[in-house]
């Protein structure tokens, strides 16, 4: 007698693959960088409570575009490796069409300026200020960045250095 055929139990079962793949999809970095602009941060933080979202939408990480069920999960996420990597990734400037054309040889290449991403602690301060006052000092709260003092020096040094194409 010959060998019996191996049963294919779950190996080729791809029935719900696309459904699970789109459920795990998160927002792209350039979309999140648009959300980190001052007007967008205020709009996101002023959203009313929504019962359909986890934690009624109260615990939302702007850097990762993710909702959390309670403050414990949210605070644990803020200390996680994934959040720190995402915050570091958001500090890189967006890749623009002009930069793509310059890289293809259609123009001169100029390095994009560094992006200052507001820290999560400052966003939390802003959230608290929004609960207390309807018109907080957004510029002052979001400008409190530990690297903000060193950033203009690094940007000036990068602008002064000539870049060959």
What digits encode the pLDDT tens for the residues 15-40? 777 777 766 678 888 888 888 888 88
| Cβ atoms < 10 Å from Cβ of 91 | 13
Q: What is the pTM of this model?
A: 0.56
| pLDDT at position 57 over 80 | yes
Q: Rounded to an integer, what distance in angstroms lies between the CA atom of residue 163 and that of residue 111?
A: 8
pLDDT digits (tens, 9 = 90+) for 110-130: 666 777 777 777 777 777 777
Q: Which residues pair with 60 in a beta bridge?
A: 67
CA dist 83 to 68, 73, 98, 103, 106, Å? 13, 12, 30, 30, 37
Higher-confidence position of 155 and 70: 70
Q: Rounded to an integer, what distance in angstroms lies between the CA atom of residue 142 and that of residue 121?
A: 9
pLDDT category, 143, cuts 50, 70, 90? Answer: low
Q: What are 147's two structure tokens?
A: 């690297």
Higher-confidence position of 89 and 95: 89
DSSP class of residue 57 equals G
| pLDDT at position 99 over 50 | yes
């Amino acid at each position: 007698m010959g060998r019996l055929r191996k049963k294919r139990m779950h190996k080729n079962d791809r029935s719900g693959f696309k459904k699970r793949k789109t459920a795990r999809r998160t927002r792209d970095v350039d979309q999140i960088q648009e959300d980190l602009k001052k007007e967008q941060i205020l709009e996101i933080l002023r959203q009313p409570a929504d019962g359909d979202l986890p934690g009624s939408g109260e615990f939302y990480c702007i850097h990762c575009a993710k909702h959390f069920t309670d403050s414990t999960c949210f605070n644990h996420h803020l200390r996680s490796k994934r959040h720190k990597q995402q915050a570091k990734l958001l500090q890189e400037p967006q890749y623009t069409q002009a930069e793509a054309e310059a890289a293809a040889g259609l123009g001169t290449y100029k390095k994009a300026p560094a992006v200052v991403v507001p820290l999560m602690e400052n966003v939390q301060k802003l959230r608290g200020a929004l609960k207390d006052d309807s018109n907080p000092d957004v510029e002052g709260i979001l400008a409190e960045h530990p690297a903000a003092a060193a950033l203009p020096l690094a940007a000036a040094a990068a602008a002064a250095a000539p870049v060959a194409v």
